[in-house]
Amino acid sequence: MTEATTVRPSNPPTTAPTIHYQVAMPKPQSHLFEVIVQVQGWSESVLDLKMPVWTPGSYLVREYAKHLQDFWVEASNCPQPLQWCKLSKNHWQIKTEDASNITVRYRVFANELSVRTNHLDATHGYFNGAALFLFIPGFEQHSIQVTVVPPKPDWTVTTPLPSVPESPHTFEAADFDTLVDSPFEIGCHQVYEFEALGKPHQLAIWGQGNANPERIIADTQKIIEVEAQLYGGLPYEKYLFLLHLSSGGFGGLEHKNSCSLNYPRFGFRAKDKYNRFMQLVAHEFFHLWNIKRIRPKVLEKFNYERESYTTSLWFCEGTTSYYDLVIPFRARIYDTKTFLDGLSKEITRLQTTPGRLVQPVSESSFDAWIKLYRRDANSDNAQISYYLKGELVSFLLDLLIRARHGNKRSLDDVLPLMWQQFGAREVGFTSQQLRDTIESVADTDLSDFFNRYVDGTEELPFDKYLEPFGLKLMGIEEEELVPYLGVKGKTENGQDTIVFVEADSPAGVAGIDAGDQLLAIDGWRVTTEQLSDRLKEYHPGDTIELTVFHQDQLCTFSITLGAFQPSRYQIMHIENSTDAQKRNLAGWLE
Ligand SMILES: [Zn+2]
């Protein structure tokens, strides 16, 4: 639709204009980045500028243009501002007349501290190019220079882009994709230099907390080595880990030569939290191959204006999630027990999400744009995360291949093959090509596996795949059993609200609704915190009277409680395992 309303000539201009961006932040506390785009050597009567609506790595239309304000255009040979109009939410068109040197100014409000947005305040500036820069359609392949103007002399600039000789604050990007793929950190952050496999790396940390840079660097070096060994080398000249320490944030965004990480500032001392951080590092680093270079066909060339649908995110994100658990284990950052406990936790998450039986993981991948990041009260009933199920499907594939080939082959062998066929050549893969590659390593037809567990919603048969390794999955019930009701609640502002009702559970069948305010069981007040303890007073088959406010109306429901449900699952060793099982297990985990 945007294209149809454009009056721009269909043949792109043949002369090559130069494109230069300047990013200033004279009043950082205002949260406003001031961007200037200078286009020199323009020879057409109109100039189109567009803002990306999403950023690669995060599959949601985020409408970055909503933060853009104060758009203004002038030409060097014209005393009056040039005329312009908007043709769509993210498309500006300028009537350039005879002007060849055009300056566009705009400001972008930046007050969202996440790896995929922009943040500017009195302490620092951070931007993700997709959320800041307008691009000129047809000129995405042209090289771009960016000059950053820090507001204070002691603010430095860190980015994976190379700086221009003699101009330390001017950086060069080979094209718009590279610009978008290169986050910027501006401020008084700490930068630590280190080497891994003979290549220079940086760890830049913004914010205060209990992170120990020496320990992080030592463990990161091990992760780099293990992952490089998996893929056969490092496909970059230098790499930047950019870490934001925040109050409660968690997230990462992968790039080709860098990653942005956001982690709780005091989340580095406790062993489990530190392990979770190293998993985040392993995850985003793994992406420099899987998704940044080994890309689904539809992401071979980014379309910044609309959704790009693929059924393969279960591999891009899920397999990466499996390896973010495997890699720190192989790097000896944690032990076998921690690794198996980590897998058990993920299995628990899957098995306690009813949506696993409703949405295939290939469909979850395809619908990422409208579902994963847009959760509502029904999400757990109707969908499954492609991260979570993709991780566990990858786990089963790894066990399947290992068991078939006595650990001489594994999912590890799929990765360098995908790298050689697609990643190194930067050619996108189709879902069929991905499956062909996995089948070639497994050396068997996996139609049945894919039909059931990737394109279907059958329960993952953990025991079948664990058994050759002398392992089994146990459903663990709490010590004091809780009869099954099927709700989750939350206390907010002193009110106890039901936030999730499991479909077909006793509560769901009775008519309890997400949003209902929890009041009483059998006439006695109950809070979210007390709910589980209060239910322990009853037995499966007992009927309770649950009182709630539903749409402001006082309602009491008679609910017959169901059978006890496992509250968690645990991978356990089979007693008296055979020598063959012991050999398999040792081959996998030692
Ligand atoms: Zn990821």
Q: How far is the CA of 8 from the centre of ligand 1 (A)?
A: 38
Q: How far apart are CA 566 and CA 80, in angstroms?
A: 72
Q: How far apart are CA 82 and CA 101, in angstroms?
A: 12
CB within 8 Å of 449: residues ≥ 6 apart: 396, 397, 400
Number of other residues whose CB lies within 10 A of the CB of residue 2: 15
CA atoms within 13 A on the CB side of 177: 13
Q: How far is the CA of 570 from the centre of ligand 1 (A)?
A: 25
Q: How far is the CA of 320 from the centre of ligand 1 (A)?
A: 6
Of the candidates 39, 28, 20, 36, the one whose C-alpha atom is nearest the C-alpha of residue 170 is: 20
For residue 47, the SS3 value is strand
Q: How far is the CA of 458 from the centre of ligand 1 (A)?
A: 25
Q: How far is the CA of 287 from the centre of ligand 1 (A)?
A: 7
Number of other residues whose CB lies within 10 A of the CB of residue 34: 17
Q: Average pLDDT per run of 10 along the chain, which is 590 residues long?
A: 41 73 98 98 95 96 97 88 95 93 97 96 97 97 97 97 95 97 98 98 98 98 98 98 95 98 97 98 98 97 96 98 98 98 98 97 97 94 98 98 97 98 97 98 98 98 98 88 94 93 96 97 97 95 98 97 93 96 95
For residue 84, the SS3 value is strand
Number of other residues whose CB lies within 10 A of the CB of residue 59: 25
List strand residue ranges (DSSP E) for 128-271, in order: 144-149, 156-158, 163-164, 167-173, 184-187, 190-196, 199-206, 239-246, 251-254, 258-264
Q: How far is the CA of 9 from the centre of ligand 1 (A)?
A: 40
Q: Which residue has the tokens 């003699």?
A: 166
CA separation (Å) from 409 to 231, 404, 405? 15, 8, 6
Q: How far is the CA of 511 from the centre of ligand 1 (A)?
A: 38
Q: Which amino acid is at 371?
A: K
Q: How far is the CA of 539 from the centre of ligand 1 (A)?
A: 43
pTM of the shown model? 0.94
Cα 236 to chain centroid distance, Å, stands at 22
Of the candidates 387, 386, 342, the one whose C-alpha atom is nearest the C-alpha of residue 365 is: 386
Backbone angles phi, psi at 555, to 5 degrees: -135, 145
CA separation (Å) from 346 to 82, 243, 311, 508, 583? 57, 25, 22, 25, 25
Task: Using CA atoms of 432, 62, 185, 38 in order, give the dihedral in degrees to the nearest 10.
Answer: 100
Q: Which residue has the tokens 């891009």?
A: 316
Number of other residues whose CB lies within 10 A of the CB of residue 154: 7
- Residue 258: strand pairing partners: 240
Q: How far apart are CA 247 and CA 249, in angstroms?
A: 6
CA separation (Å) from 180 to 131, 316, 440, 507? 8, 20, 35, 47
Q: How far is the CA of 388 from the centre of ligand 1 (A)?
A: 11
DSSP annotation string for 436-497: HHHHHHHTS--HHHIIIIISS-PPP-HHHHHGGGTEEEEEE--SS---B--EEEEEETTEEE
Q: Are 141 and 238 in contact (CB under 8 A)?
A: no
Q: How far is the CA of 207 from the centre of ligand 1 (A)?
A: 23
Q: How far is the CA of 42 from the centre of ligand 1 (A)?
A: 39
Tokens read off for 402: 């290992």
Q: How far apart are CA 138 and CA 174, in angstroms?
A: 15
Q: How far is the CA of 271 from the centre of ligand 1 (A)?
A: 22
pLDDT of residue 15: 65
Tokens read off for 76: 């060097």
Q: Which residue has the tokens 């995110």?
A: 313
Q: How far apart are CA 437 and CA 450, in angstroms?
A: 13
- Residue 167: strand pairing partners: 164
Q: How far is the CA of 45 from the centre of ligand 1 (A)?
A: 43
Number of other residues whose CB lies within 10 A of the CB of residue 494: 6
> Strand 46-50 to strand 495-501: parallel, antiparallel, or no bridges (unpaired)?
unpaired
Q: How far is the CA of 211 from the centre of ligand 1 (A)?
A: 22
Q: How far is the CA of 250 from the centre of ligand 1 (A)?
A: 12
Q: How far apart are CA 449 and CA 32, in angstroms?
A: 51
Residues 441, 442, 448, 452: is their CA dihedral positive or negative?
Answer: negative
Q: Which amino acid is at 209?
A: G
CA separation (Å) from 151 to 278, 369, 510? 34, 37, 60
Q: How far apart are CA 438 and CA 401, in angstroms?
A: 9
List strand residue ranges (DSSP E) for 82-198, in order: 84-88, 91-95, 101-109, 119-121, 124-127, 144-149, 156-158, 163-164, 167-173, 184-187, 190-196
Number of other residues whose CB lies within 10 A of the CB of residue 182: 22
Number of other residues whose CB lies within 10 A of the CB of residue 529: 10
Number of other residues whose CB lies within 10 A of the CB of residue 33: 24
Backbone angles phi, psi at 469, to 5 degrees: -105, 10
Q: Which residue has the tokens 């790298």?
A: 419
pLDDT of residue 77: 78
